[in-house]
């Protein structure tokens, strides 16, 4: 398992080792002990999966506040996405900054997004399946979102993403400057 830092110190790209032969390959996609030894000692309690039919489907930028703030371990099992994490910790020197990582089923890479970050992605192809582990249950009363195209964040979404497919919730998400309860 290879762990690589991103432009945000606490967000880590993880690429499990694939063992292949003429039949295909095998990979251990989650190893609690190995991740713990690398400082990712999270008690993931639930696995989630999303499917997005059209390319250009944008989900995010989502987060949950205490007492149900979530860390996530995100991977793509079909297709590819541009995955984004935004630092929402006001005391952090990287507050308001983001990192972008392309995740794909072909590469098998994953992104660890700790508590204190918003997370979102856009699908780069049709028929994308994303799976992710979370450290807290979904709690509608703790759910928040930051507008995907917030000019202060200046996320470099793909050029072809002129009119993404969005949920009503994501269309109405406020800007980061208007978030009353980000992290300390």
Q: Which residues are catalytic?
A: 62, 132
DSSP strand E in 44-116: where? Answer: 46-52, 58-64, 72-78, 80-87, 98-104, 110-113
Alpha helix stretches (DSSP H) within the chain: 32-37, 168-171
Q: Which of 106, 32, 116, 109 is nearest to 66 (CA)?
A: 116
What CA dihedral angle connects 43, 47, 48 and 53, to 10 degrees?
130
As a whole number of Å, the end-to-end CA separation of the chain is: 32
Cis peptide before 156 (omega within 30 of 0): no
Cβ–Cβ under 8 Å, residues 136 and 79: no
């Amino acid at each position: 398992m290879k762990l690589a830092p991103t432009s945000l110190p606490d967000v880590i790209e993880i690429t499990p080792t694939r063992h292949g032969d003429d039949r295909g390959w095998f990979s251990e996609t989650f190893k609690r002990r190995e991740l713990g030894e690398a400082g990712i000692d999270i008690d993931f309690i639930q696995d989630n999966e999303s499917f997005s039919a059209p390319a250009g489907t944008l989900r995010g930028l989502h987060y949950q506040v205490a007492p149900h703030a979530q860390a996530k371990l995100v991977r793509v099992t079909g297709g590819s996405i541009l995955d984004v994490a935004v630092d929402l910790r006001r005391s952090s020197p990287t507050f308001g900054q983001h990192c972008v990582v392309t995740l794909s089923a072909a590469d098998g890479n994953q992104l660890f997004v700790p508590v204190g970050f918003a997370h979102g992605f856009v699908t780069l192809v049709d028929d994308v399946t994303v799976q992710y582990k979370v450290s807290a249950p979904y709690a509608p009363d703790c759910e928040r979102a930051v507008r995907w195209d917030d000019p202060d964040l200046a996320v470099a979404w793909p050029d072809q993403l002129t009119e993404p497919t969005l949920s009503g919730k994501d269309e109405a998400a406020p800007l980061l400057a208007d978030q009353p309860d980000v992290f300390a």
